[in-house]
Amino acid sequence: MRPESLNPLFADVTSLAGVGPKVAALIGKVAGPRVIDVMLTLPSGVIDRSYRPQIMTADEGRLVTLTVSVEKHTPPPKGRQRLPYKVLCSDETGYVTLVFFHARPDYLMRVLPEGERRIVSGRVERYGAALQMTHPDYIVDPGKADEMPLIEPVYPLTEGLAAKTMRKAAQEAASRAPALPDWMRGDIMITEKWPGWQEAIQAAHAPESDLDLNPQSITRQRLAYDELLANQLALALIRRQRRKTAGKSREGDGHLRNEVAKALPFRLTGDQTRALDDILSDMGASHRMVRLLQGDVGSGKTVVALMAILAAIESGSQAVMMAPTEILARQHFASIEPLLKDTNITVEMFTGRDKGQQRAAKLSGLAKGYINILIGTHAVFSDDVVYDDLGLVIIDEQHRFGVHQRVALQDKGRRADVLVMTATPIPRTLALTTYGDMEVSQIKEKPPGRKPVDTRAVPLDKVDQVIGAVSRAVEKGEQVYWVCPLVETSDIIDLTSVEARYGELLQHLGDRVGLVHGKMKSEEKDAVVEAFYNGTIRVLVATTVIEVGVNAPAATIMVIEHAERFGLAQLHQLRGRVGRGDKASTCLLLYKAGEGGQLGETAKARLNILRETEDGFLIAEEDLRLRGAGDALGSAQSGFPVFRLADVGTHARLLDMARDDASLVVEEDPDLKTPRGEALRHLLYLFSRDDAVKLLRSG
Ligand code: ADP
Ligand code: MG
């Protein structure tokens, strides 16, 4: 149960003064639905009104606070309401005109009575000798000067949400931060000189200058550490829980693996062998395996997975392999099934399309154990799918699932070993925050004989030449991918660009061109991909549906339109679709050039990295550096945790500390029973890691 003292923080934002349902919806967009979400949304800027010059010396363009006498109101002439309402003011050194558009004269007369003194604050412009302030931010009576804050935090906003409203809500949320037992390790507090949690929250919401917004300020570091520690502790608890759950030792005698290995047209690379050894030793151990297999597109993960599957079958279990899309599931099936021809292993496909009798037959085959391997989409984990003895769960292209979903999936398989495969090279820091609950194997080495892909940038206005080159290549028998970005306008996905390009290529190449995008029915998609796979279609125009793994080894040209709209890691993945056979391949990045036909600096830097290396891990690190964590990964949907206080790019040092801290805690106080352990429970709740608390005895 969540500690009583935290409950007010988990109340709806409408419990904050001045926040009704309408404002709550807007705040929900920038922060979240609960008070704690607002509390953990820190200021992104500071407004400083402490510059208080006299009129004559006021710097143009700056935010100033002036003490003035109100001289004279000049409303716009009758019938010319679009002209401004002006109020002339002065001090001993000169004059300033306050300018208002669409003014309400009675209001202005009230707040700026002629002959009285007022403090006004706003940005000033200078026209010759005349100083002007348009729509002052504040107009206050000198007697009530403290109604105007000299320093104001600025919060992230969205359309319709007034800065003042958000500021008030955030300030109130911050003031609700309770004093909590401190979970910070004493020695860290001393060496880092960090403030306590409550103090840190309040200070973070009361910045005094831009310096206080710096992620390396002690306040922000402390809070970032809290968030990272919650993340690392939760993962460590999940990992420990899993190790405690008895698994089953699945060693197998190797007879199936030997048989299939003999039929393979190649030998495993060193990295493949090492990864497989890791997996087999986990499977053979008595604890449950939860391992991540990372390797670039084309690095040969499938065959490693297949060997693991065979080991599971040798030891009398079933295996299931889940892919994020039907296309991918079919490809896995198509690459695995032929290799099993000479064995008596039964492998079946299973997707949401299996209905009626067909579905019933497969379900019965699974329950009775006749089916050894099931390959499919998330349908393989539907409620009515019952396995006879599920020993191995393989999840392909994990980056689309979050850690919560991963935990849920594993519960399905009870004691099954779990192997997660991802083709997204993930920078080390992100891997820690995302997969910190898993063991990791990496395949970095490519299968032998791969040629580097000739990567070039071409301005988009030369697209006609590219079409010409593509047509000539097709005449010579080559196969081409042509990728267009999806244009998403709010909720509508605009397919015009990809459809237009398809239409144009169709004119040049006729029915040798195919189109595939996410809005098509899966039957249609499969038919097109199949035709590309077997060569009837020579040019596949696609949105990024192919990004996650369509495999046509014969393809040699990859054209990416509007390459500037894709992330580096994504471009790298797309490029990985070609260069898989023994022929030389090309990747053309079509850029929309900026002013003067030039590429921007970042675009140039990105392109150079792609040209210089095909090492996905290096590219991922650079992507993170160039774009920052949120952007590099496309935030929430990507399944990466979204941090609010920490940035794994700038807070890498803190992440390492938090990781060590968390491992030590789990080792010494696994049920969080000591006083510090109790305090850490508060931390987990604060960051909504209730799932991890549930794993604790007496949690
Ligand atoms: P991934 O799933 O990692 O993207 P795949 O498993 O689909 O990569 O492998 C890509 C291609 O490389 C496949 O055609 C596969 O048969 C081939 N391949 C895999 N391992 C080797 C190897 N050791 N030597 C040569 N070719 C290999
Ligand atoms: Mg793959």
Token pair listed for 356 = 């009626």
> How far from the centroid of its chain's Cα atoms is residue 249's Cα?
36
**In this predicted model, what pLDDT tens digit does every residue of 276-289 receive, in sequence order?**
999 999 999 988 88
The Cα 398–Cα 401 span in angstroms is: 5
Q: Is pLDDT above 80 for 681? A: yes
Cβ(443) to ligand 1 under 6 A? Answer: no
Q: Is pLDDT above 80 for 594? A: no
First to last CA, the chain: 7
pLDDT at 194: 96
Cβ(330) to ligand 1 under 6 A? Answer: no
* pLDDT more than 70, % of the chain: 92
Sign, CA torsion 379/380/381/386? positive
**In this predicted model, what pLDDT tens digit does every residue of 198-229 receive, in sequence order?**
999 999 999 999 899 999 999 999 999 999 99
Ligand 1 center to residue 595 CA distance, Å? 43
Nearest to 592 by CA among 623, 622, 565, 617: 565
Compute the mean pLDDT over every residue in the chain, rounded to the nearest whole number.
Answer: 88
The Cα 316–Cα 176 span in angstroms is: 57
Ligand 2 center to residue 550 CA distance, Å? 8
**In this predicted model, what pLDDT tens digit does every residue of 98-127 receive, in sequence order?**
999 998 999 999 999 999 999 999 999 988
Ligand 2 center to residue 324 CA distance, Å? 11
Residue 195 in 3-state DSSP?
coil
Closest ligand 1 atom, residue 449 Cα: 25
The Cα 463–Cα 486 span in angstroms is: 18
Q: Is pLDDT above 90 for 518? A: no
Residue 698 Cα distances to 4, 246, 585, 672, 682, angstroms:
16, 20, 59, 10, 14
Closest ligand 1 atom, residue 553 Cα: 14
Q: Which CATH code for domain 50-148?
A: 2.40.50.140
Token pair listed for 398 = 């994990």
Give the list of residues 6+ apart from residue 238 with CB closer than 8 angstroms, or none: 403, 407, 437, 691, 692, 695
Phi-psi group of 391: left, alpha or beta (phi > 0 → left; psi -120 to 50 → alpha; rest → beta): alpha
pLDDT at 233: 96
Closest ligand 1 atom, residue 267 Cα: 23
Do the Cβ atoms of 47 and 151 come closer than 8 Å? yes
The Cα 414–Cα 409 span in angstroms is: 9
**In this predicted model, what pLDDT tens digit does every residue of 659-674 receive, in sequence order?**
999 999 999 999 999 9
Cβ(303) to ligand 1 under 6 A? Answer: yes
**In this predicted model, what pLDDT tens digit does every residue of 534-544 receive, in sequence order?**
899 999 999 87
DSSP-derived letter for residue 137 is: S
Type of residue numbered 389: D
Output the residue whose Cα is nearest ligand 1's atom 5: 300
pLDDT at 633: 42
* Paired strand residues for 295: 443
Sign, CA torsion 550/552/558/559? negative
Q: Is pLDDT above 50 for 636? A: no
Do the Cβ atoms of 41 and 30 come closer than 8 Å? yes
Superfamily of domain 453-613, CATH level 4: P-loop containing nucleotide triphosphate hydrolases (3.40.50.300)
Cβ(551) to ligand 1 under 6 A? Answer: yes
Superfamily of domain 255-443, CATH level 4: P-loop containing nucleotide triphosphate hydrolases (3.40.50.300)
Number of residues written out for the chain? 699
**In this predicted model, what pLDDT tens digit does every residue of 467-515 receive, in sequence order?**
999 999 999 999 999 998 876 554 555 666 788 899 999 999 998 999 9
- Ligand 1 pocket check: which of 264, 266, 297 to mutate, most ligand atoms within 8 Å of Cβ? 266
Written in H, E and C, the secondary structure of 619-677 is HHHHHHHHHHHHHHHCHHHHCCCCCCCCCCCCCHHHHHHHHHHHHHHHHHCCCCCCHHH
Do the Cβ atoms of 579 and 610 come closer than 8 Å? no
The Cα 257–Cα 275 span in angstroms is: 15
> How far from the centroid of its chain's Cα atoms is residue 511's Cα?
38
Type of residue numbered 376: G
Where residue 638 falls among pLDDT bands split at 50, 70, 90? very low
**In this predicted model, what pLDDT tens digit does every residue of 331-362 receive, in sequence order?**
899 889 999 988 999 999 999 889 999 999 99
Ligand 1 center to residue 540 CA distance, Å? 21
Same fold yes or no, 50-148 and 453-613: no
pLDDT at 402: 59
Output the residue whose Cα is nearest ligand 1's atom 19: 300
Taking only Cα atoms into account, the Rg of the chain, rounded to an integer number of angstroms, comes to 31
Ligand 2 center to residue 396 CA distance, Å? 7
Regarding predicted confidence, which is higher, 579 or 168?
168
Cβ(423) to ligand 1 under 6 A? Answer: yes
Ligand 1 center to residue 278 CA distance, Å? 19
pLDDT at 129: 74
Q: Is pLDDT above 50 for 630? A: no
- Closest ligand to the CA of 573: 1
Output the residue whose Cα is nearest ligand 1's atom 16: 300
Paired sense of beta strands 585-591 and 453-459, if any: parallel
Domain boundaries, the chain: 4-47+155-213, 50-148, 255-443, 453-613
**In this predicted model, what pLDDT tens digit does every residue of 375-409 receive, in sequence order?**
998 889 888 899 999 999 999 875 555 566 666 66
Q: Is pLDDT above 70 for 73? A: yes
Where residue 425 falls among pLDDT bands split at 50, 70, 90? confident
DSSP-derived letter for residue 390 is: E
Ligand 1 center to residue 257 CA distance, Å? 17
Question: Phi and psi dihedrals of 4, rounded to 5?
Answer: -45, -45
Where residue 70 falls among pLDDT bands split at 50, 70, 90? very high
- Closest ligand to the CA of 304: 1
Mean pLDDT along residues 71-80: 93
Helix, strand, coil shares, percent, the chain, to 5: 45, 20, 35
- Closest ligand to the CA of 273: 1
pTM of the model: 0.71
Token pair listed for 271 = 């990295």
Type of residue numbered 282: D
Token pair listed for 275 = 């990864």
